[in-house]
Copies of this chain bind each other. A is one copy, B any other.
Amino acid sequence: MDQPENRQFRLIRRPVGQATRRDFEFRTDPPRRPAEGEIMVRVEYLSLDPAMRRWMHEGKSYITPVKLGDVMRALGLGTVIESNATGVASGDVMRGVLGVQSIATVVAKDCTKIDPTIAPKPLFLSALGMPGMTAHFGLLEVGQPKAGETVVVSGAAGAVGALVGQIAKIHGCRAVGIAGGAEKCRYITDELGFDAAIDYKSESVPRKLREHCPSGIDVYFDNVGGQILDDCLAQINVRARIVICGAISQYNSTGPIRGPSNYLSLLFNRARMEGMIVLDYVDRYAEGMRAMAGWMHQGKLKSREDIVEGIETFPETLEKLFTGGNFGKLMLKV
């Protein structure tokens, strides 16, 4: 077999603040041949996610940090070019933790075979992938929205947030999104059907929340933390549910994380704040994917991908997540 080269980004130091190119080594190695149970995958798409910033950081988390010298961890999707695992053949399309590299040699059973005839491949990294499952189970299982309630989501034009608002609408809720910039706000109301959008870059979030949530906030799905979390806490209803999905405003913080100073609103309102990690729902992904795919077929759910070409752009493309530069699920086409 013609042995291709494996272009890869290895983490060589722990970033302080924003991760930059200097935190990685971009190099080319011969790919490793698959051992028993392994497969070699030509990586086609890599998912860029806010959580990647956390994986670079040493310290207690839900997952071990990437070791210095290792290929940077990333979810991806690609085609098997050599299999040493039963049940997987060359040509199969697999999704899994492939890493930021062009050729990944990984344990087959840690990957999921996908059927690319159901939907375009990038969708398996967005609405039918981790962001979709995060939105689906985070909102429905942790947020427990009831028809008629008001659901607010931040990062509302992002991979997860855009889906959260649409799933809220499908469940008969009022959906209000917080996003940065007029274009993203127009997108979530005009294209995705949110009831209202708040541009945190140019509008007063507290004032606009009062205006767009006249009955208060029943579910707040938080992707950002910081001031916006506090603004929402100030306007929650009795028995509200706050889903803590992420805190992108804090991930590059070099100082201490900013805690929500309005957390006593949980007390006054007997409300609940609960963390959500999508990996807890792995055994229900099939159910989640069926639901999401069904809504997409019915035209009730739209997904948007922001696909950047070229693995070599990885550090700068990742940065877009933290500057609000992406629009839709950010991924690399390798």
**Chain A residues engaging chain B, CB cutoff 8 angstroms:** 60-62, 225, 230, 234, 244-247, 250, 256-277, 280
Closest approach, in angstroms, between the C-beta of A181 and any C-beta of chain B? Answer: 26
Closest approach, in angstroms, between the C-beta of A254 and any C-beta of chain B? Answer: 14
Q: What are some 6 contacts across the A-B interface (CB < 8 A)?
A: A60-B268, A61-B268, A62-B267, A256-B261, A266-B275, A270-B274
Complex Cα spacing A4 to B225, Å: 57
Q: A268 to chain B: which residues have CB within 8 Å?
A: 60-62, 275, 277
Complex Cα spacing A225 to B260, Å: 12
Q: A280 to chain B: which residues have CB within 8 Å?
A: 270
Complex Cα spacing A260 to B268, Å: 17
Closest approach, in angstroms, between the C-beta of A313 and any C-beta of chain B? Answer: 29
Complex Cα spacing A262 to B268, Å: 21
Q: Are B266 and A273 neighbours in the complex by a CB distance under 8 Å?
A: yes
Q: Are A271 and B274 neighbours in the complex by a CB distance under 8 Å?
A: yes
Q: A247 to chain B: which residues have CB within 8 Å?
A: 264, 267
Complex Cα spacing A230 to B260, Å: 12
Residue of B nearest to A63 (CB): B268
Closest approach, in angstroms, between the C-beta of A226 and any C-beta of chain B? Answer: 10
Complex Cα spacing A269 to B273, Å: 12
Q: Are A259 and B256 neighbours in the complex by a CB distance under 8 Å?
A: no
Q: A276-B270, A277-B270 are in contact. Are A262 and B259 (CB under 8 A)?
A: yes
Q: Are B277 and A274 neighbours in the complex by a CB distance under 8 Å?
A: no
Residue of B nearest to A240 (CB): B275
9 further A-B contacts with Cβ under 8 Å, apart from A60-B234, A259-B260, A264-B275, are A62-B269, A244-B267, A246-B267, A260-B260, A263-B263, A263-B273, A268-B277, A270-B275, A270-B277
Complex Cα spacing A256 to B261, Å: 7
Q: Are B267 and A257 neighbours in the complex by a CB distance under 8 Å?
A: no
Residue of B nearest to A250 (CB): B264
Closest approach, in angstroms, between the C-beta of A111 and any C-beta of chain B? Answer: 24
Q: A245 to chain B: which residues have CB within 8 Å?
A: 267
Which one of B60, B257, B266 lies within 8 Å of A244 (CB-CB)?
A: B266
Q: Are A274 and B272 neighbours in the complex by a CB distance under 8 Å?
A: yes
Which one of B261, B275, B277 lies within 8 Å of A259 (CB-CB)?
A: B261
